Amino acid sequence: MIPAVEFGLIYGVMALGVFLTFRILNFADLTVDGSFTTGGATAAVAILAGWNPFLAILAGFATGFAAGLITGLLHTKGNIDGLLAGILTQIGLWSVNLRIMGSSNVPLLREDTIFTPLRDAGLMGSWASVGIFAAVVAVITAAIVWFLNTDFGLAVRATGDNGPMIRSFGVSTDRTKLITLALSNGLVGAAGAVFAQYQGFADNSMGVGLILIGLASVIMGQALLGQRFLWLSVAAVVVGAVLYRLIIFAALEVGLNPNDMKFITAALVVIALLVPQWRAAIGGAIAGSRANRGAGGADAVTPNTAASASSSNDPAQATGTMDGKVKA
């Protein structure tokens, strides 16, 4: 269970990158599958070349940043649909990643990584390491919340909400899209660099299907915690990533086939998307039922009162009562 939480926190950084494009910019970016591997491949090759592991993570961030910048340029300057631009970059990165690594797999089992001190101290695989992971991810989360509350961050949020409106105020939406896509994939690349060091190797297929995991993390976390406040919306993404890994861990523990994990991920995303709609539909049905019962009760008062009045011995009194009720 502890490694599942550690995996979830690493995936949380990747999910924060997906959050920036999917929720904030309202941009379906599929570059993630390629930029995650690019970051991991860059970090692995840098460590083998004798780089400091932390500098290797920065290198992974830089290559992911460049990948997101390419997608942004294809979309903004090349007028290519955003979805297609991400797919084109992702496909191109498959060959680029192979060029970076020189093979389909680069092992790091005997190299020093950022986790080597933790392993030497016997902290890996314990709640102490989880606490360290969580503290680092909390700092990154706070940095993103701060960024989104800056003037440029507000412009990015406005670009995702209403691009034509923010352009009318003189804001370059091309610039906001370029920088946000680059930052998003930079975070994804950094997560890939950390992941490669965590698992002890970089592989060209390590990012396949990762966009689905990122979307599952964003959707499940925000369905659970909501989006009332910005900080809560951002923190929910990390919670969703950890929850996703715990669900996968539980699925494997009960004996499900590992080959079914992609299907389980897709099912989780579908459920997370449908549950809020079902909840709203059920709430609307209940409210409508209550309103109908209330209206029916009010309408039922007049005939009963009129009937009792008409049964009175005084016809004039009965007539007056009925007229009064009708007027009311």
- State the pLDDT at residue 281: 77
Q: Convert the pLDDT of each residue in 83-131 to its tens digit.
A: 999 999 999 999 999 999 988 899 998 888 999 998 888 888 888 989 9
Dist CA 327 CA 99 (whole Å) = 86
- State the pLDDT at residue 306: 45
Contacts of 71 (CB under 8 A, 6+ apart): 29, 31, 82, 85, 86, 88, 89, 181, 185
Q: What is the dihedral of CA 103, 104, 106, 107, to 10 degrees?
A: -130
Could you write out the DSSP letters of every residue in 5-64?
Answer: HHHHHHHHHHHHHHHIIIIIS-----THHHHHHHHHHHHHHHHHTT--HHHHHHHHHHHH
Q: Convert the pLDDT of each residue in 199-235 to its tens digit.
A: 999 999 888 888 888 888 888 888 888 788 899 999 9
Q: By the 8 A CB rule, do 39 and 192 touch?
A: yes
User: Beta partners for 202?
Assistant: 106
Question: What pLDDT band is residue 193 in, cutting at 50, 70 and 90?
Answer: very high
Query: Whole-number mean pLDDT of the chain?
Result: 85
Residue predicted with more confidence, 278 or 15: 15
Closest CA to 114 of 184, 44, 13: 44
- State the pLDDT at residue 317: 47
Question: What pLDDT band is residue 297 in, cutting at 50, 70 and 90?
Answer: low
Q: Convert the pLDDT of each residue in 39-51 to its tens digit.
A: 999 999 999 999 9
Q: Tell me the residue ranges of DSSP E strands in the chain.
A: 105-107, 201-203
